[in-house]
Amino acid sequence: MSTISLPPEGRLGYKEAKELARHPDARLRLSLAGRRDVPPEILYYLADDPDPDVRRAIVANQSTPALAHLVLVDDMDEGVRAGLAERIVRLAPGLNADERDRARQTAYRVLERLAEDQIPRVRQILSEALKDVADAPADVINRLARDVEEAVSAPVLEFSPVLRDEDLLDIIGENPTTATLSAISRRARVGADVADAIAATDDANAIAVLLANASAQIREETLDQLIERAEACPIWHEPLVHRPDLRQDAAVRLAHFVADRLIQALIERQDLSEETLREVRRVVHRRLEDDGAGPVPMQRGPKDVGGRADGWMNGLIAAYERALRMAENGLLDETAVVEGIKAGDSSFVIAALAAKGGLSPALAQAAVQSSSGRAIAAVVWKAGLSPVVSAHVQIHLAGIPPGDVVGGIEGTGFGLTDSEMLWQIEMFGQIAAEEAT
């Protein structure tokens, strides 16, 4: 075990440093490699030390000369090269192939070599470090952007300001992977030409990422083409519904096929006109008619019964008044509703759902007659009744096949979120109001 100790920092002589660099004890050489007062040529000599820990220390030493980096860039130890990648990127800004300063020229050559390293982790470290450097070497960035490893290419593809639209279009034209296209689609600014090129690839996942990028400049004609194809591609629905500056006619076209929760998101947009919102609701109403038996035309009753102004079926008025009396006497419970279902008394069941849920009878009637399991589940939920009642109403009153019951015939749940059920109630309130006028 060595008994040699190193002098304090700044007191190390050249001859002593030279002897220590050749000492058989790797621990002494390691201590020497980390000092700031070691002559550059000694540090250069240690860049070829047999111990990888010594070479890693040389990488980390701020006094290591640039020429040593050219030795270390070919080091057999992956950790040495990875450390060099982390170190060298600090010199990257402003470097180019025409450097006249020898140190900067050397740094540039090291960057080039690291970008070609056989170990993906080394290239990844370089990519992560250079991804947001505005004046990083353009050819190094372009090499990393075309790397076959996603972990290497994705950071610069997504973030690097060095990449021009022309570079991105070239990459898109090289039949890239979904990961490559998605990384480009996530850029803080995606130009219209690049967006067109991504849309033309038919890569559904990458296009979904592009649509979700609010800053992507997607031309109206391109967006129209995507909407035309979107019905068969559900992963596009949500980002399309939330696209900024969505045209009024595009919103109506989306209403023909997106899911209920996305219809709700459309209606909640602040940039759609009242006329567009009315058309969206009409589209949804027609969808409900097409999906089920369709609402039976309501027989007009009195326009005002007990202060209520709804278009009720004649038989529903008496049933509703009966349900209200039962509720006042504490008799309108789940058992009473289930008995009404078993008896096939649809007017009473509809009236009971309205009374217990504080809903318009016309709304409850429109929901049941629509044969929409979602609408029925929402009204039963609003009435404070169980999912079992929802299943019974869907099967016995609305004629929905057991296999299509929303929430399942076991009655273990309603099958919708609270917000989705509230939206169903809001929608059928609009439908009932339109039927009454």
Q: How far apart, in Å, are the Cα atoms of 184 and each of 17, 77, 152, 190, 328?
A: 51, 33, 13, 8, 64
Residues 6+ apart with CB under 8 A from 268: none
Per this entry, what is the length of the chain?
A: 437
| pLDDT at residue number 294 | 40
Cross-strand partners of 308:
305
How does DSSP classify residue 134? T
pLDDT at 1: 43
The pLDDT tens digits of the residues spanning 15-74 come to: 888 888 889 999 999 999 989 889 989 998 999 999 999 999 998 888 888 888 888 888
The answer to whether 58 and 49 are in contact (CB under 8 A) is yes
Q: Is the pLDDT at 299 greater than 50, yes or no? A: no
8's CB contacts (< 8 A; 6+ apart) are: none
Q: Is the pLDDT of residue 123 over 50?
A: yes
Give per-residue pLDDT as tens, 246-263. 999 999 999 988 887 788
The pLDDT of residue 229 is: 93
pLDDT in tens, 371-426: 788 899 999 999 999 999 999 999 988 888 888 899 888 878 898 888 888 988 88
The domains of the chain are located at: 314-436
Separation CA 13–CA 23 (nearest Å)? 15
Could you tell me the two tokens for 2? 């060595």
Tokens (6 digits) for 187: 């850029």
C-alpha to C-alpha distance for 227 and 221, rounded to whole angstroms: 10
Give the C-alpha separation, 395 to 381, whole Å. Answer: 16
- Model confidence over 136-158: pLDDT tens digits? 889 999 999 999 999 999 999 99
Nearest to 27 by CA among 54, 7, 50, 48: 54
Dihedral over Cα of 208, 209, 213, 216: its sign:
negative
Instruction: Give the CA diameter of the chain.
Output: 111
Residue 312: per-residue pLDDT: 43
pLDDT tens sequence across 172-226: 999 899 999 999 999 999 999 999 999 999 899 999 999 999 999 999 999 999 9
Residue 229 CB coordination number (10 Å): 13
Q: Does pLDDT of 274 surpass 90?
A: no
How confident is the model over 296-325, as a mean pLDDT?
53
DSSP reduced 3-state for 305: strand
Tokens of 62: 């701020």
Q: Which carries the bigger pLDDT value, residue 294 or residue 73?
A: 73
DSSP 395: I
